[in-house]
Amino acid sequence: MPDDLDHAMTRLEELQLHYGRRFIKAMREGGGRVEKDGLARLEAMPRRTGTPEYEDHVRRLMADYPQHYAERRVSRFELPSTAGTLLRLHGLIEEAHDTARWPGPRPLFGTVHSGRVNAMAVTVDSPVYFLLLIENGVFGFANLFAKAISRAFPLDLGVDGSTRHSADPDRAVARIRAEDADGEELRRRFLDLITTYAVRGDPHHAESYFNEPEREVLHAGLLDGMELFVIAHERGHAVLEHFNRAATRPIENAGEAEYLASWHQEFEADGFGLTITAGTLARFGFQALFDFAACCSFLAGMEILLRTVDVLNTGTIAAHETSTHPPPGMRAQMLQTYVMGVTGVGPEDRYFADCKGLLNVIEAYWQAVAPNLAALHRAGVRPVPLTLG
């Protein structure tokens, strides 16, 4: 239904402008760092990205995907790189699953400066579409977070002279804690990632760097797993018909409404998200135990970022929960319960070993940089408004 699509696209772009302006206003009022021409650049986005060259780029992206979702369109406010990521990820899901049979409205994607380390679903008065809005920094954070995890694992020289990526999490933890140049670099880059997002509101300002090619299988696998989980989780709310049983909350001064799930619905959507992520990554040779680890690592990343905001704000860590969203740690525990219920494995089964190893690596990073964050708090450094959402 083209009219529904046009209507949904219009609402999407209006919300992107709404959240962008609100983000810049909040940054300025809170003393955050905003480029001098930030608002001007935001309002110039339609002219900057809505060009024939950009439209050609999007059409080329579309041509690489099956016809059954060629209706997809990309907002003028998406950068080509982000548009390509969103199209690619949802394309992987639609190629791996019979999504045409899924009930509920279909998602139209966009990124927004919401300040909420999450994604959200928004009504658009259409039975065909809903908006799936992703916090602008979430995928950038996932990329650098997955890179930090993969970089912690040492590279070994094989008997044939080739370099191989170690899979031993204990050695990764030891590298993070080591008082040598490698350990210092790992800690510095991780601190740069979480403080850049927390203080400047955008992880893309973190210092860029390249991983060795041997690390890219772990990095790319974790990243795809994290990003697919975000998209599949939100799509799960529609497929599981949560929208029919959820309250809504008006988006201030935007004329739209956000779906408000319950904790139970969040847990259900997590289970759906894991199932879809595993089925999608299986086509590329990833095993289910790795997919579970990737999903739980994303939830751990959310927890780390929220801890960072807490420490910079108050010097202590608070409980991370809202009336609609359980704490990320509880979501990871419930995801394990879901897996045990579906597969029949026990909590000590090898299925969870990879996950425990990665979570130990993530926690080692946190323990290593927490004192630095406390020092920044004492020095008066405060975060932008970032919440669970």
- Residues 239-262: tens digit of each pLDDT: 998 877 666 777 766 667 777 788
Q: Are 102 and 243 in contact (CB under 8 A)?
A: no
pLDDT of residue 38: 45
The answer as to whether 174 is a domain residue is no
Q: Are 118 and 258 in contact (CB under 8 A)?
A: no
Lookup: tokens for 142 = 């996932």
Question: Mapping DSSP to helix (H, G, I), strand (E, B) and coil, where does residue 340 land?
Answer: helix
Number of domains in the chain: 1
Q: What is the Cα–Cα distance from 169 to 152, expressed in whole angstroms?
A: 9
Beta bridge partners of 135: 112
pLDDT tens for each residue of the chain, 389 residues long: 446 888 888 888 888 888 887 777 776 666 555 544 444 444 444 444 445 655 565 566 555 544 444 445 678 777 767 777 888 888 899 889 998 889 888 888 888 888 888 888 888 888 888 899 999 889 999 999 999 999 999 998 877 878 888 889 999 999 999 999 999 999 999 999 999 999 888 888 899 888 888 898 899 999 999 999 999 999 999 899 887 766 677 776 666 777 778 889 999 999 999 999 999 999 989 999 999 999 999 999 999 999 999 999 999 987 777 767 888 999 999 999 999 999 888 888 888 988 999 999 999 999 999 999 999 999 999 888 777 76
The answer as to whether 129 is a domain residue is yes
pLDDT of residue 386: 79
**Which one, of 208, 373, 215, lies nearest residue 305 by Cα?**
373
Q: Are 235 and 129 in contact (CB under 8 A)?
A: no
Query: For tokens 């899924």, what's the residue?
Result: 102
The answer as to whether 170 is a domain residue is no
Question: For 261, what's the count of Cα atoms within 13 Å in the CB-facing half-sphere?
Answer: 25
pLDDT of residue 106: 87
The answer as to whether 385 is a domain residue is no
Lookup: tokens for 270 = 């997590």
The answer as to whether 35 is a domain residue is yes
pLDDT of residue 230: 95
Task: Name every residue whose Cβ is closer than 8 Å to that of residue 81 and which is 6 or more positions away in sequence.
Answer: none
pLDDT of residue 84: 77
The answer as to whether 340 is a domain residue is yes
The answer as to whether 33 is a domain residue is yes
Question: Mapping DSSP to helix (H, G, I), strand (E, B) and coil, where does residue 260 land?
Answer: strand
**Which one, of 200, 72, 218, 50, lies nearest residue 136 by Cα?**
200
Q: What is the Cα–Cα distance from 218 to 294, expressed in whole angstroms?
A: 10
* pLDDT tens profile 116-152: 888 888 888 888 888 999 998 899 999 999 999 999 9
Backbone angles phi, psi at 58, to 5 degrees: -65, -40
C-alpha distances in angstroms, 234 versus 16, 130, 340?
A: 18, 10, 22
Q: Are 374 and 310 in contact (CB under 8 A)?
A: no
Q: Are 94 and 69 in contact (CB under 8 A)?
A: yes
Query: For tokens 């905001």, what's the residue?
Result: 309
**Which one, of 322, 280, 320, 315, lies nearest residue 304 by Cα?**
320
pTM: 0.88
C-alpha distances in angstroms, 271 versus 95, 193, 278?
A: 20, 29, 11
The answer as to whether 152 is a domain residue is no
For residue 290, give its domain range.
2-144+191-378
Backbone angles phi, psi at 321, to 5 degrees: -150, 155
Q: What is the Cα–Cα distance from 212 to 209, expressed in whole angstroms?
A: 10
Q: What is the Cα–Cα distance from 69 to 75, expressed in whole angstroms?
A: 16
pLDDT of residue 251: 74
